[in-house]
Structure 1
Amino acid sequence: MPGLALCLLYNLAASLNVCLTYPSTSLDFCENGGTWEKDGCICPEQWKGLRCTIVNFCKNSTYDNFHFGIITVGKYGPSIEKCESNTANAGFPKATRFCNMTVYGDIILENASKVNCDQTLESLAAQVENITENSLEISSETLLLTSDANMLTAQDISFATTVVQQIFNTSRNAVPEAKKIAVATVSQLLDAKEDVFQLQFRNKTMNYSLSLMNESLFYPNIAIQSVALPTEDTPQPVTVLFSVQRGANDILDSQQTYIEINEKELKPEDKTELQILINTTQSTNGKFGFVLYQNNKFFQSKTFTIRSNFSQRVVACKFSDGEEVPNVSVEMIFKPKYNESQFQLHSYACVFWDITKDDWDTYGCQKKPNNNSQFLGCQCNHTTSFAALMSFDYNYSYPDSLDIISKIGCGLSIAALAITIIFQIVTRKLRKTSVTWVFVSLCTSMLIFNILFLFGIENSNKNSNRSSEDDNVIPQHDINPPENHTCTVMTVLLHYFLLVTLTWTCLNAVQLCFLLLRAMKPLPPHFTLFLFLMGWGIPAIIVSLTVGIIYPLKGALGYRQEIICWLAVPEDGNYLESPWLWSFILPATIILITNAVIFIIITVKVLWGRNENLQSTKKSSVMKKILSMLSIVVVFGFTWILGYLMLIDDHNVKIIFNYLFCIFNTTQGLQIFVLYTVRTKVFQNKASDIFNSMSSTIGRIKMPSPTKISLHSEVYEMIRSLPNRIECFRLLEQSPTIEETFLSESDQSNSRY
């Protein structure tokens, strides 16, 4: 059975990228889980440096009987100890600890702060009236209660947002230290899960960019920086350039951003990720402030749906007094960040966050192409929060080596299975039996699946070139491939016939077990009919239920993938809701376990045991027993076990089992042909007759008289005796194998019903 389907299946799962060959630079150069992207290593947040070898975390620690795990620099880490079940904050950490880095680059742990287990975010939000007097205490408690972002619910974020907004409300007169802590709270909120952010409180977050302009602050998910414009008696028009450089990981720090005044144009470099140039044509005094959000979780759109896990940064720029600068021109460039092995950029839109609509809009913004193809250019005539909303097409590329192996293996299997099926039907009189329908059903389903796989596994969208959109129009989705109903139908057929093939391997095992353990006695009445109903009916029920449940809820891409026409694999790791698990992996696992149990029984009791009812007058050799075991292994589908070994978390091991899986499963039809057709006496006799007929035909053809030459005596004698040697050639006769016995006896049993 084709192995590329399962190979590519694992490839789309982020954690099981086993089919594509990683660049050698990533494996040999980047360490500690770092990945190579174009011109450098992208490190996990706990590592940094050229090769991801520099520690960026605080080790496990203990403070006042509180235990803490590894904490990333710039973040607060929760304690292992949790609030008791009888407290208001049951399950929340009892303490938090901050991992800091000094100006000299030393990583230190701050003292732990104890959490009030009876104080909740809801109760803190209710204290906003007293925030002027207790701003530092309320801000600190909010920070502590949001330190474990994975535990936050939509209500928790709503309450925390209310507190933070009031702290930055100038009328509340919160102390400066409370505002700094509130920025850290915002950074922690941006680590929360995407689905807990609700639209009803999105408008509250926009006031941050008006309030956070007094100082330069850097936290893992948010950076705030401001610049004072020159104060002159005669104010002059100025330009302000805000740049963001690529870091070693996805954590923001003070080394990544900088501001320059009176720069006339954008000046991107290789490591530039974002630049924004504000050009005022009228005189201006005051400050310009910038807020950089690491992701767009605070900007949940009703018109633009995100399906990928690519983080899209948002940059906000405001004049210090919150006033709109007249006659301003804002130029921006964004470097798109996405998985280039799976996607390619289709189009983008230059947008700003409209507070009145509580959504993205394009008014006053347009695309501005630039000379550097690495960047997306935008231009707007106002200052606010900006982003480039990108849409992607799938990169329909497949591993060449595995693709070739699969096509060659499938081609050989198709030819071999067709010959096997014809042989079983045509030679039934010579074998003096009826057709072995259970075995033929297995070969037929496998043949159909191989044909469907060879000609239908690739999505036809691969050959459709969609032109990118030049207009500044907001796309509906970040990943929006064209509909392809043919691919959906092909997925249904592949799903069905692969399940049918696996089911027939199990039914062949059941029938063989019945025949051998019952000493070749006749099968029960209507046994074959019962097997037929199971072999073709159970897979139909599974596929029908899967399509009927998944398709109305999640659409075509909830059931299938886009890269190939095969079952969808969840990118978020939620396999419990995946059709891939329930409608394929689970049935396949049950079938393989059943086949393994039957194989052990047959091996112990029949092949290597002593069963008086099955004793042959001719003793079988060890080699014949091994061949019989190999024949059973092939028809029982045990080569699929290699697919489970591909889950081993070692790249080199994955590659080895990847190729083994593809080779053995794509050639399974060829293996059946060799073991169940070529090795039979009927086929060998027919092949011998054909060979002799061809030899006789060649012998009757008159060859031109050769030129008389002098030959060495030994060479002459060898050539003279060659016709006699050809006449004496015969295929070796073999004694009956367990395969022949199984096919013959099962035929005779079936012919009685």
Structure 2
Amino acid sequence: MLYRLLLFFFSSAKNTNDNITTISPFHTTTTEPNSITKISPLHTTETTPNNITTISPLHTTATVQSLVCQNGGTLQQEQCICNESWTGAVCNISNFCSGQKPTTNSKFTFPKTVLGQFASSAERCPPETTNAGMHQASALCNRNTHLFDPPNIINCSLTLDNINTQVSGATVEVKRNLSFSTQILTSIPEWLTPHNITNAAQIAKALLSDQHITDIAVSAVTTVSQLLNASREIFSSVNNTAISELTKTLQEVSLREEPNPLLVQPNIAVQSLKGQANSTKPILQVQLIAFKGQSDNFSTDRIKLYTTKAEINQTGVDFQINITFSKGFNKTIGFVLYDNDQFFQSKSFKPSLDTKRRVISANLEENPENVHFTITPSADSTMSLNDFACVFWSYSENDWITDGCTKTVNSSGSAGCSCKNQQKANFAILMAFDINYNYSKALHWISIIGCALSVLGLCATALYQIRTRKSRGGSPTLLVVNICLSMTVFYLLFVFGINNPVKHMNVTRVSGENIVPESDHHKYRDEGPCTAFTALLQYFLLATFTWNTLYGINVYMLFHGPVSGTPRWFPKVCMAVGWGLPAVIVSISLGSTYRVDEPLGYRQEEFCWLASVDHKQTFSTKKPMLWGFVLPSLIMLISSTAILLYFSYNICKTDPNLNTSRKTPLKMKIFSSFSLAVILGLSWLIGYILLITHEETLKLILSFVFCLLNTTQGVQIFILFTLKPFLNSNPAILNSLHAPEIGLHKKSLYLWKNNKQESIESIESYISSDH
């Protein structure tokens, strides 16, 4: 527990496996639980005692008990969740092409690839070409043969600019070559720039405008899927017109009468369904569902279209869309599924969390009665849904709008939406999440006792220093008293103010209003004293380090000016620096990171301490933890360490001209160095050692040592700088306790100007006993 109580000064991290807040140096280790669900389309009907027919999955107890998932599949909700390379009830049916050469004469080799997807060759374009380092060829993993089709080879000097100028008006064969070249040139996400994405979008639009679903369209859809791998920062600079035209073209593609299962790629899927004009039983409902596999990408066997009542309203899916008609539909319905919203860059909604916002494009040739869709939140267990908005994309406003849509929350926790009179629209649900903060419990009793004893010890030390100030002068008393003052206030703030008194418990608060949220991260306004406690903790802890360093500087100046001692101006400078420098650092930290609407830019939520991680729970250099505490305190600790080494070296040096009877005992030298180390607060260096320690046993040992030394630092100062001198000044008590004899006061007799060893003995006595 001590480890958790004090290492928060360096960083805090969440462990999502057990939802317990733990403290660790600067980095987080997060294991996300596998919450993927696979749905079987097989259903049977059951009749309840009230003669109400319900729908339930077709399962038997014997089958469930004997179900053993193979090839890395995991059993969840009585279903085997397969990785993308396998399919079937127990993940025993291969869904990939083995890594191989497509033909015996081929010079290209390809890795293991999922059926229906393109593989990039291991061979790359040579260094002297324009596309040096780019894959030189690609091949489609054929669904029917489970083998790679003949490879498509790129001209290593060809660029997307060249392709964009050639694709318009090209013959079918030329378009085929250009489509495969475009697919290869967009296969590496790190190579995608705003200019490349704009070119590729224009090329894909031109290729998809062809009225026939061919291998050209398959390659073009693959290119579109690859574009969605680019980062949000890259897409923010992409030409919006090119992307809008591409999404409109995809809508038209989905309405074609020849559905092709190959138009499903990891980040995009295009599906269509043709109505039956002369059917005696018109189709009144159409449902498309998609559920996750282990890879969380689109796959043909995980996207289903249903038209019968028994198949409607399945649960546990990743997302589903239901379209109802009052008189049935006779024409074509098309769907385009986007795995993220990169093609729909909003001006009003600014996401900051690493969550997916899938987009469902429903395109109809006739007006529907209602479009209802649900999406399961994609956030992991570290976040919970706070609110959401049901929206569709407006090409005129180039943003999400909510007109005609209402929202509901299902019992399963999925966000549901209904929209009226939308014949062609790209639908989405914009969700705002709460981070699941894990607030600390009351401080452990050992820490409370340690801090309480330290406060008492520091108060006693300050009083003793003031009462005996005439025996040592003004500067030493000033320094020690201010160290005791800053440390006392810090300990009190730590005990009474470290826990956040205002706790935001994460309960879904879905409002009735369908309003687009500003971000996917729900923010709370500052509504408590936690920020004030954080600022005070930062100030008095930095003040403690500053006064410790000033004390070390005073010792250093005693070595360099043994006759005159410290200058007269030194106490005034100490007061200005000791209390002024921490105030400057705190002011900069607050002014640059704190906002009333976003207090977590400055502080944490679980503890009233400086913020160190971003919304993705990774350490951020923009947070004040680094430059508002870690770096300033590290600089001061390094300075204090250098002064301690200098002090220890000088007192351990032996002057050959000095009479051996005048030598300081080794015990006295060690005691002096240890006393200086305590007053300088060098035990905090253990915390920095923890930052670079990866061996768990050593880290645990250092954690307890760090906490023990720092909670009792006030007690140590009391023993070394108050109790010890007090015992030395009372011989009767000293003799009864058999304490070692140590010089009482700083008394120096300078017989000549350069008697430095005499001065060193005086400084040793100054450090070890006089305080």
TM-score, normalization: structure 2? 0.73
Q: Secondary structure at the match of 2:465?
A: helix
1:409-558 correspondence runs (5 A): 409-428=450-469, 436-459=477-500, 461-462=502-503, 467-484=509-526, 487-515=530-558, 522-548=565-591, 557-558=600-601
What corresponds to 2:161 in structure 1? Answer: 122
1:136-155 correspondence runs (5 A): 136-155=176-195
- Distance in 2, matches of 1:358 and 1:333, equals 23
Out of 184, 195, 200, the position equivalent to 1:160 is: 200
Out of 208, 215, 240, the position equivalent to 1:200 is: 240
Would you say the 8 A contact 1:72–1:99 is kept in 2? Answer: no
1:325-724 correspondence runs (5 A): 325-327=367-369, 329-341=370-382, 343-372=383-412, 374-381=413-420, 382=422, 384-400=425-441, 409-428=450-469, 436-459=477-500, 461-462=502-503, 467-484=509-526, 487-515=530-558, 522-548=565-591, 557-564=600-607, 565-571=609-615, 575=620, 577-606=622-651, 609-610=653-654, 617=662, 620=665, 629-647=673-691, 652=696, 656=700, 659-660=703-704, 663-664=707-708, 666-677=710-721, 679-682=723-726
Deviation, 1:658, is 8.6
What corresponds to 1:180 in structure 2? Answer: 218
Distance change (3 Å), C-alpha of 1:513 and 1:114: farther
- Distance in 1, matches of 2:366 and 2:745, equals 85
Would you say the 8 A contact 2:721–2:770 is kept in 1? Answer: no
- Give the letter aligned to residue 304 of structure 1: F
Distance change (3 Å), C-alpha of 1:38 and 1:162: closer
- Distance in 2, matches of 1:594 and 1:415, equals 29
Deviation, 1:180, is 0.8
Deviation, 1:78, is 8.1
1:50 and 2:47 correspond: no
- Give the letter aligned to residue 474 of structure 1: V
1:50-69 correspondence runs (5 A): 50=74
Distance change (3 Å), C-alpha of 1:660 and 1:367: same
Deviation, 1:630, is 4.6
What corresponds to 2:742 in structure 1? Answer: 736
Deviation, 1:236, is 0.8
- Give the letter aligned to residue 377 of structure 1: G
Would you say the 8 A contact 1:351–1:361 is kept in 2? Answer: yes
- Distance in 1, matches of 2:130 and 2:691, equals 42
Across the aligned residues of Structure 1 and Structure 2, the Cα RMSD in angstroms comes to 5.0
Distance change (3 Å), C-alpha of 1:518 and 1:416: same
- Give the letter aligned to residue 370 of structure 1: N
Out of 299, 302, 305, the position equivalent to 1:256 is: 302
- Distance in 2, matches of 1:551 and 1:279, equals 50
What corresponds to 2:344 in structure 1? Answer: 299
Deviation, 1:192, is 0.8
How far does the alpha carbon of each residue in 1:146-177 deviate from its partner, in whole angstroms, 9 at most, with x for none? 122123222221221111122222xx457621
Deviation, 1:306, is 0.7
Would you say the 8 A contact 2:724–2:769 is kept in 1? Answer: no
- Distance in 2, matches of 1:71 and 1:628, equals 69
1:238 and 2:284 correspond: yes
What corresponds to 2:752 in structure 1? Answer: none
Would you say the 8 A contact 2:289–2:321 is kept in 1? Answer: yes
1:310 and 2:332 correspond: no
Distance change (3 Å), C-alpha of 1:500 and 1:380: same
Q: Secondary structure at the match of 2:319?
A: strand
Q: Which runs of 5+ in 1 are unaligned?
A: 42-46, 690-727
- Give the letter aligned to residue 253 of structure 2: S
Distance change (3 Å), C-alpha of 1:156 and 1:729: same
- Distance in 1, matches of 2:619 and 2:121, equals 25
How far does the alpha carbon of each residue in 1:289-330 deviate from its partner, in whole angstroms, 9 at most, with x for none? 3322222222211111112111222222223xxx24332x22
- Give the letter aligned to residue 299 of structure 1: F
Q: Secondary structure at the match of 2:240?
A: helix
What corresponds to 1:36 in structure 2? Answer: 33
- Give the letter aligned to residue 376 of structure 1: A
- Distance in 2, matches of 1:446 and 1:173, equals 77
Deviation, 1:393, is 2.9
- Distance in 2, matches of 1:405 and 1:567, equals 26
- Give the letter aligned to residue 356 of structure 1: S
Distance change (3 Å), C-alpha of 1:475 and 1:729: same
Would you say the 8 A contact 1:413–1:666 is kept in 2? Answer: no
Would you say the 8 A contact 1:491–1:560 is kept in 2? Answer: yes
Q: Secondary structure at the match of 1:512?
A: helix
- Give the letter aligned to residue 333 of structure 2: F
Would you say the 8 A contact 2:372–2:417 is kept in 1? Answer: yes
Q: Secondary structure at the match of 2:270?
A: strand
What corresponds to 1:700 in structure 2? Answer: none
Q: Which has the higher helix share?
A: 1
Deviation, 1:465, is 8.4
- Distance in 1, matches of 2:556 and 2:547, equals 14
Would you say the 8 A contact 2:285–2:308 is kept in 1? Answer: yes
- Distance in 2, matches of 1:738 and 1:418, equals 22
Of 299-308 and 730-739, deviating more is 730-739
Deviation, 1:446, is 2.9
Deviation, 1:194, is 0.8
Q: Which runs of 5+ in 2 are unaligned?
A: 39-70, 76-80, 86-95, 747-761
Q: Secondary structure at the match of 1:397?
A: coil
TM-score, normalization: structure 1? 0.75
Would you say the 8 A contact 1:289–1:317 is kept in 2? Answer: yes
Would you say the 8 A contact 1:239–1:262 is kept in 2? Answer: yes
Would you say the 8 A contact 1:94–1:116 is kept in 2? Answer: no
Would you say the 8 A contact 2:168–2:206 is kept in 1? Answer: no
- Distance in 1, matches of 2:717 and 2:137, equals 66
How far does the alpha carbon of each residue in 1:204-258 deviate from its partner, in whole angstroms, 9 at most, with x for none? 3432233146323332222333344456443513322222223213333334322
- Give the letter aligned to residue 32 of structure 2: T
How far does the alpha carbon of each residue in 1:130-159 deviate from its partner, in whole angstroms, 9 at most, with x for none? 355432222222222212212322222122
How far does the alpha carbon of each residue in 1:333-372 deviate from its partner, in whole angstroms, 9 at most, with x for none? 222132433x332211122222222211222221123333
1:11 and 2:12 correspond: yes
- Give the letter aligned to residue 595 of structure 1: S
- Distance in 1, matches of 2:744 and 2:292, equals 66
- Distance in 2, matches of 1:346 and 1:390, equals 8
How far does the alpha carbon of each residue in 1:580-603 deviate from its partner, in whole angstroms, 9 at most, with x for none? 434433333333333333333344
